[in-house]
């Protein structure tokens, strides 16, 4: 990959204080891009910024993506500071773990507000500048955006919605030079599972999976850069993700059976083993 591609590119990353967002911010900063880091804790972002190769090329903006005005402000601050936008990475997101029958509906609303509406708000306000630069907009989804994961109704719904939104946006701007990428990492070693919401909306505080066996956030960031460099429409990073997508369309009943068995094996899974 030609790393010169990212020199002085203005790249906005939401959810940049941890996980994939943080790894991506560090990677793009090392490639001499101008990085805009967005998260709810601007204090944490500023601490991270100090250790980056060129802090003067990094902008930190306090952003709660569930708040439309925050997303609008994020774009405005970026334009005021750097003058244009080349890439928007909609990465901010939360997860959940509970059967729908037991679920407080506010949990689904919180997931849709963060995952889906956060993507919509940021994309809406960045779009005129991305069209001008013939830039890229990315939505970070999951294999849960291709097949409904049991115990993850709100999460899957939000990821399906992001994929549908971005796929449609790509078609609408097919001849405008806009690059739209749906990016599905699969299970990644990060803190998203420890912060996943339970049926009553409280964080589960632990991960049900062995994080050591997962792809690292740094590796995911490298694949993200690859997809951006070559303007891919879709990136599924794991063999499981690719197989899941294939069988979802080719053999849906078999795919659902496999998903149920897989998710039922999680420690303290809300799904009963059959």
Which tens digits make up the pLDDT trace of 32-76? 999 999 999 999 999 999 999 999 999 999 999 999 999 999 999
Is residue 125 among the annotated active site residues? no
pLDDT score at 273: 61
Count CA atoms closer than 13 A to 233's CA, side-chain side.
Answer: 10
CA separation (Å) from 58 to 8, 47, 75, 133, 139? 11, 12, 14, 20, 21
pLDDT score at 228: 97
CB 158 within 8 A of CB 111: yes
For the chain, 274 residues long, the average pLDDT of each consecutive 10-residue run is: 87 96 97 98 97 96 98 98 98 94 96 98 98 98 88 95 98 97 80 77 72 81 96 88 74 74 74 64
From the candidates 5, 125, 155, 226, which is the catalytic residue? 155
pLDDT score at 206: 64
The residues near 233 (Cβ < 8 Å, ≥ 6 apart) are 170, 180, 181, 182
Q: DSSP string spanning 22-76?
A: HHHHHHHHHTT-EEEEEES-HHHHHHHHHTSS-GGGEEEEE--TTSHHHHHHHHH
In CATH, 3-238 is 3.40.50.1370: no
pLDDT score at 204: 81
Separation of alpha carbons 157 and 125, rounded Å: 23
Separation of alpha carbons 166 and 90, rounded Å: 11
pLDDT score at 132: 98
pLDDT score at 109: 97
pLDDT score at 262: 72
pLDDT score at 28: 98
pLDDT score at 195: 80
């Amino acid at each position: 990959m030609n790393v010169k591609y990212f020199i002085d590119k203005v790249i906005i990353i939401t959810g940049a204080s941890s996980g994939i967002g943080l790894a991506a911010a560090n990677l793009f900063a090392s490639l001499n891009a101008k990085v805009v880091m967005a998260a709810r804790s601007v204090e944490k972002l500023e601490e991270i910024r100090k250790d980056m190769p060129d802090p003067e090329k990094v902008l930190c903006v306090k952003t709660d993506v569930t708040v439309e005005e925050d997303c609008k402000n994020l774009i405005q601050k970026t334009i005021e500071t750097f003058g244009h936008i080349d890439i928007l990475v909609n990465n901010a997101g939360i997860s959940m773990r509970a059967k729908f029958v037991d679920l407080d509906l506010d949990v689904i609303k919180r997931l849709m507000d963060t995952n889906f509406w956060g993507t919509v708000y940021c994309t809406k306000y960045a779009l005129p500048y991305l069209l001008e630069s013939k830039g890229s907009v990315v939505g970070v989804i999951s294999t849960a955006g291709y097949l409904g994961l049991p115990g993850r109704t709100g999460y899957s719904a939000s990821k399906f919605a992001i994929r549908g939104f971005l796929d449609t946006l790509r078609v609408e701007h097919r001849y405008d030079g806009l690059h739209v990428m749906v990016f599905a990492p699969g299970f990644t070693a990060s803190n998203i599972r420890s912060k996943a919401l339970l049926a009553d909306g409280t964080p589960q505080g632990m991960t049900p999976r062995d994080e050591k066996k997962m792809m690292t956030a740094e590796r995911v960031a490298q694949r993200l850069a690859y997809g951006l460099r070559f303007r891919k429409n879709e990136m599924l990073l794991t063999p499981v993700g690719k197989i899941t997508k294939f069988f979802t369309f080719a053999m849906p009943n078999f795919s659902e059976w496999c998903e149920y068995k897989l998710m039922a094996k999680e420690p303290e899974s809300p799904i009963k083993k059959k």
